[in-house]
Amino acid sequence: MFRSIAARWDFTAADPAEIPVALKAFRVFVLVVVAITVPAFSLPRPYGGPRAIGVLVSLVVAAAAWGIWLYYENQRRAVVLALAVMGVAGGVLAGLAPLGPAVAVGCVATSAAGSRLNLEASTGVAAATVAAFLAAGLSVSAATVELLGFPLGFLGMWALGLTRRSFLLRAEQAEKTLAETRRARIAENEAAALGERARIAREIHDVLAHSLAAVSVNLEAAEGLLSALPSGSPGLAKAIECIERAGAFTKEGLADARRAILALRGNGGPLAEQMSALAERYRSDGDLVEFSVTGEPRPVGAEAGLAAYRAAQEALTNARKHAPGQRVSVDLAFRPEEVEVRVVNPMPADGERGELSKSGAGYGLTGLRERAALGGGTLEAGPADGQWRVCLRIPA
């Protein structure tokens, strides 16, 4: 991917992590080949004289500049200076030794300048390379074909570099546009999801909450009518007790409906306080519930908070149905990247299950696993060491 290829318009920044290892190795290989073959095959014979000295000096300067370019490839000033020196030294080297691999230095300098620098700077490097070649070539009376062909070769490599630079800039712009489009699409999806959640919250409020409120009012009215009957009526006390329990369940359902609405609207309240209130409500009904908090409490997302609350609620309900009278421990743990809810209660002995153990459809834990999976978490439930354990872990 073209991650920030052009840090500035006048310099194409190269991230070393994005340059293929094979390309780095090839650049070093070319430098080694030039450094070895030019002295071996391109020095004028007999050895010595101004031309040989010029070849050796320009080769050393070009090799040093090449090394600086490879080492400081992502620093603008070093790259500009190194490519300029490489171009001049490469031009002189090609002019003094035109029949060897020395031409590679000038070609690499002009190509790299075209792809890495802006038009003005790369034009300067290409012009300096051509000028240095012509000056050196004329000084040694190079052939006309060399004086015409080598500059065209340098300029051709420079044009190739400009083409590559244009491609890189267009690719980076296309990637930026794609990233912006993705961000806009994500924002639209989030807005649509929030709108849908608000709609669901309104539906829950208008249908479920109002219906439960009406049921609660009617139960209170029935309780009042039953209280007016003679105390000796058979089953009167039992009927009043059932109505009171139904009223309690209705009020609990109302509270759960309000909590679901708040969660859908992204305002579920502190999770630790909700869990503590849940444990207290079960204790007030006679259940032996112990609640503890591990770690530093912090705000959690609505989905994660609702999943944690529902897991504890389902586990406590199952403990009440299957192991009534047993002590239940509820632990809420805040970890660096997740929230964990662990509910543990002793398993009842055979034949000692509660009267409500057969009630329900048996899909509570399945629904909790699905809810946890949607939030990127996991839910484990099962026996271990004579205890029934429910453990929810969810990112938050």
Confidence at 53, pLDDT banded by 50, 70, 90: confident
CA distances from 82 to 35, 78, 164 (A): 17, 6, 20
Q: Which phi and psi (to 5°) does residue 386 adopt?
A: 75, 10
Mean pLDDT computed over 214-227: 66
Q: Whole-prediction pTM value?
A: 0.46
Q: Determine the Cα–Cα distance for residues 295 and 203; give it in Å rounded to an integer.
A: 36
CA distances from 296 to 278, 279, 327, 395 (A): 19, 19, 25, 15
Q: Determine the Cα–Cα distance for residues 227 and 215; give it in Å rounded to an integer.
A: 18
Question: What would the pLDDT profile of 225-269 be if each residue is shown by its tens digit?
Answer: 666 666 666 666 666 676 776 777 677 766 666 666 666 665 556
Domain boundaries of the chain, sorted by first residue = 16-183, 269-396
Confidence at 77, pLDDT banded by 50, 70, 90: confident
The arrangement of secondary structure in 269-396, i.e. its CATH architecture, is 2-Layer Sandwich (3.30)
Sequence-separated contacts (24+) of 286-291 with Cβ below 8 Å: 287/316, 287/319, 287/320, 287/328, 288/325, 288/326, 288/327, 288/328, 289/316, 289/327, 289/328, 289/329, 289/330, 290/327, 290/328, 290/329, 290/330, 291/330, 291/331, 291/332
pLDDT of residue 16: 41
Mean pLDDT computed over 35-59: 73
pLDDT of residue 116: 83
